[in-house]
Chains A and B, each alone.
Chain A
Amino acid sequence: MKALSYVGELALFIWEVLKRLPRVFSVIPYIINEVWKLGIGSLSIILITLFLGGFATAYTAATQGKGYLPEVYIGMAVAKAFFIMLGPLLTGLLLAGKVTSALAAEIGSMKVTEQIDALETLAIDPYHYIILPRIMATLIATPILTMVGEVSAMIGGGICAVTLLHVKLINYIEGLRFNFIPMEFAGSLVKSAVFGAIIGIIGTFYGMKAMGGAESVGKCATQSVVAASVLVLVFDNIVGVLMFNYPI
């Protein structure tokens, strides 16, 4: 019963946001501002994590395939792993932790200090001016951060290949290009856009659920991270099956 009520509340929340979508152009400056804040704030963690992920993937591919896989496959392993799976997933999970909690805490504290009520009394619709720009920002910024992260992973893999594995750079780059399927790259962007929508919706939804005081804000922020992380993993499989036809 509780789960049903939760799904109902979330569906109503999403419906309230969708109703404002036709007027999204009036909040473009707010969206740009949020994309900028979100992008700059999350860039370093994405770059470092995916760089290290690329490094580890290249090393693992080389050690596992040692003796029977030509070194050109190291680059391919990194590219395939990050375009199909790791790029959007790692970015999605990192942002689910960092951005979802930040959104829930920001909006939650606005809620408990009556700032959201104050906007309503000024005839300013909080769904239009606070919620919609943040969801649109995560929807836009997550694919951009994923792309940047994937480039960082390729660089990480390349540095590993050249310095530790003594692979020629040209062979590593050839591996990245080998069997490159544009649909896989597009798929990683679609996945990350879905993750971005989840992060924005869940963060703002839990923020709006806060009531009372600081304890409630903390609780909502924690719950939002759990919910967003689980949903990112669930939708990783759903979108993966739909776009790449890989088994769950």
Chain B
Amino acid sequence: MIEIKDLYKSFGDNHVLRGVNLTIPEKKITVILGRSGVGKSVLLKHIIGLLKPDSGNIFIDGIDITRASNKQLWNIRRKMAMVFQGAALLDSLPVWQNVTLALKVHDHMQEEDLRRIAHDKLTLVEMAGSEELMPSELSGGMKKRVAIARALALEPKYLLFDEPTTGLDPLTAQKINELIKGLQKTLGLTAVIVTHDLQCTFTVADKIAMLAEGKIIFEGDIEGFKTSNIPLIKQYLATFSITRG
């Protein structure tokens, strides 16, 4: 389980997180929803230890990663994986090496085994056959799928997604949403998704947390979200209804 307690983070005068409290349940998909620039990605980068908070704590399986040593942090990261907004595939490596890079570095596996694992993981995300392609030869949706395959290669307990559908056409975005939902069910992962996309939220979320003005202003399920009286959520839902006609 991931527990975030009184998390504060500022960049100069910009107070991004102002006391975030959130519990992320195991084996469920938690969506952190919020407007662009509200600090969703900053929160996600705190969860995986890429950023250090000004104050507050993040407990992952009981270990406070804000106070963890480098060694502890590396060990915790082996339980976690993150899919970045822009996929963040290594330009210089073909798809199969991108997928298995962590296994090569940590487990010193042979090329034959690495290729087999790459094929298996790429099959899970419906990208089998793309092993030899370079990232520059992939579309946005394909890059996201490969990034998910790379995240799955380490068989993580926690999978974090930063805006998984941003920049994708609606059909590709929906396919990515269904893929995330399917993978979570099949593999029993704990997933955290940050997004501003309500379609994505309603497709995948078991739990929704709404981030606004540096705090979590709502925590609950989809029904609770839809019937909430919080003005910002009502605005969000109204805009969603208009765009859906």
Shortest CB-to-CB span from B40 to chain A, Å, is: 15
* Given A115-B89, A115-B90, A121-B105 contact (CB < 8 Å): no
Cβ of A117 under 8 Å from chain B: yes
Query: Contact: B50 with A117, CB < 8 Å?
Result: yes
Which of B81, B84, B105 interacts with A114 by CB under 8 Å? Answer: B84
Shortest CB-to-CB span from A7 to chain B, Å, is: 22
- In the assembly, what is the distance between CA of A114 and CA of B75, in Å? 21
Query: Contact: B84 with A117, CB < 8 Å?
Result: yes
Contact residues of B between 81 and 109, Cβ < 8 Å to A: 81-82, 84-86, 88-91, 101-102, 105-106
Which of B45, B88, B105 interacts with A113 by CB under 8 Å? Answer: B88
- Contact bitstring B5-25, A, C-beta under 8 A = 1, else 0: 000000000000000000000
Query: Contact: B154 with A122, CB < 8 Å?
Result: yes
- In the assembly, what is the distance between CA of A110 and CA of B93, in Å? 13
- Contact bitstring A115-159, B, C-beta under 8 A = 1, else 0: 101111111110001000000000000000000000000000000
Query: Contact: A123 with B101, CB < 8 Å?
Result: no
- Contact bitstring B57-84, A, C-beta under 8 A = 1, else 0: 0000000000000000011011011101
Q: Does more than half of chain A's interface fall in helix, strand or loop, or is it mixed?
A: helix
Query: Contact: A124 with B102, CB < 8 Å?
Result: yes
Interface size for A (C-beta < 8 A) is 15
Query: Contact: B81 with A115, CB < 8 Å?
Result: no
Shortest CB-to-CB span from B129 to chain A, Å, is: 23
Residue ID in chain A nearest B162 by CB atoms: A114
Query: Contact: A114 with B86, CB < 8 Å?
Result: yes
Chain B residues, Cβ within 8 Å of A115: 88-91
- In the assembly, what is the distance between CA of A121 and CA of B45, in Å? 9
- In the assembly, what is the distance between CA of A136 and CA of B45, in Å? 31
Shortest CB-to-CB span from B85 to chain A, Å, is: 8
Chain B residues, Cβ within 8 Å of A122: 77, 81, 101-102, 105, 150, 154
- In the assembly, what is the distance between CA of A186 and CA of B80, in Å? 50
- Contact bitstring B27-59, A, C-beta under 8 A = 1, else 0: 000000000000000000100111000000000
Query: Contact: B77 with A117, CB < 8 Å?
Result: no
Which of A110, A119, A121, A129 interacts with B81 by CB under 8 Å? Answer: A121
Query: Contact: A120 with B50, CB < 8 Å?
Result: yes
- In the assembly, what is the distance between CA of A114 and CA of B101, in Å? 16
Query: Contact: B89 with A121, CB < 8 Å?
Result: no
Residue ID in chain B nearest A128 by CB atoms: B105
- In the assembly, what is the distance between CA of A120 and CA of B77, in Å? 8
* Given A117-B50, A118-B82, A118-B84, A123-B89 contact (CB < 8 Å): no
Which of B80, B90, B91, B106 interacts with A121 by CB under 8 Å? Answer: B80
Query: Contact: A117 with B45, CB < 8 Å?
Result: yes
- Contact bitstring A98-114, B, C-beta under 8 A = 1, else 0: 00000000000110011
Query: Contact: A121 with B77, CB < 8 Å?
Result: yes
Query: Contact: B78 with A121, CB < 8 Å?
Result: no
- In the assembly, what is the distance between CA of A115 and CA of B106, in Å? 18
* Given A117-B45, A129-B105, A123-B88 contact (CB < 8 Å): no
Query: Contact: A121 with B82, CB < 8 Å?
Result: yes
Chain A residues, Cβ within 8 Å of B105: 122, 124, 129
Shortest CB-to-CB span from A139 to chain B, Å, is: 21
Chain B residues, Cβ within 8 Å of A123: 74-75, 77-78, 102, 106, 154
Chain B residues, Cβ within 8 Å of A114: 84-86, 88
Counting chain A CB atoms within 10 Å of each CB, which of B81, B86, B105, B106 scores highest? Answer: B105
Chain B residues, Cβ within 8 Å of A129: 105
Shortest CB-to-CB span from A15 to chain B, Å, is: 14
Query: Contact: A113 with B82, CB < 8 Å?
Result: no
Counting chain A CB atoms within 10 Å of each CB, which of B82, B88, B106, B150 scores highest? Answer: B88
Apart from A114-B84, A115-B88, A124-B106, what 19 extra A-B contacts exist at CB < 8 Å?
A: A113-B86, A114-B85, A115-B89, A117-B45, A117-B84, A117-B88, A118-B84, A118-B88, A120-B50, A120-B77, A121-B77, A121-B81, A121-B82, A122-B105, A123-B102, A123-B106, A123-B154, A124-B105, A125-B74
Which 9 A-B pairs give the minimum distances between C-beta atoms? Answer: A118-B88, A122-B102, A114-B88, A123-B77, A121-B82, A114-B84, A123-B74, A123-B78, A115-B88
A-B contact pairs, 24 of them (CB 8 A): A110-B91, A114-B84, A114-B85, A114-B86, A115-B89, A115-B90, A117-B50, A117-B88, A118-B82, A118-B84, A118-B88, A119-B90, A120-B50, A121-B80, A122-B101, A122-B102, A122-B150, A122-B154, A123-B78, A123-B154, A124-B101, A124-B102, A124-B106, A129-B105
